[in-house]
Amino acid sequence: MSIATVILNQGQVEIPKHIRDELHWESGHALILETTEAGILLRPQAVQKPLRLEALRGFLKQDAPPVPIDDLCAPVDASADWDAAEQRSR
């Protein structure tokens, strides 16, 4: 299908409503404009789908053995690190 249109003052090109409706393009829809040997190609920009939790499985793999839960839940003695940090900042 070929339809004539014009370039407006600020470089805007109007896409006729029936074409926008057919392609489900609304105001603010992101498009990619490519130049080709045949002319110009206008296509929708791919929308990134949000990550699902399953996609993150195995993301933080490590070679070391797992840390026991008791060690993870043990209280942290921050005073030793705090004192050392204060010493370095003086």
Residues 6+ apart with CB under 8 A from 64: none
Model pTM score: 0.47
Do 13 and 7 meet the contact criterion of CB atoms below 8 Å apart? yes
Q: What is the pLDDT of residues 62-89, one digit of tens each?
A: 788 888 888 888 777 777 777 777 888 7
CB atoms within 10 A of CB 25: 15
Residue 64 in tokens: 């070391």
Which pLDDT score, from 0 to 100, does residue 58 have?
Answer: 79
pLDDT tens digit sequence for 12-44: 989 999 999 999 999 888 999 999 999 999 999
Alpha helices in 1-90 (DSSP H): 17-23, 69-73, 78-89
pLDDT of residue 87: 82
**pLDDT at residue 85, as a whole number:** 79
All structural domains of the chain with their residue ranges: 53-89
Whole-angstrom distance, CA of residue 6 vs CA of residue 85: 66
The reported pLDDT for the residue numbered 1 is: 73
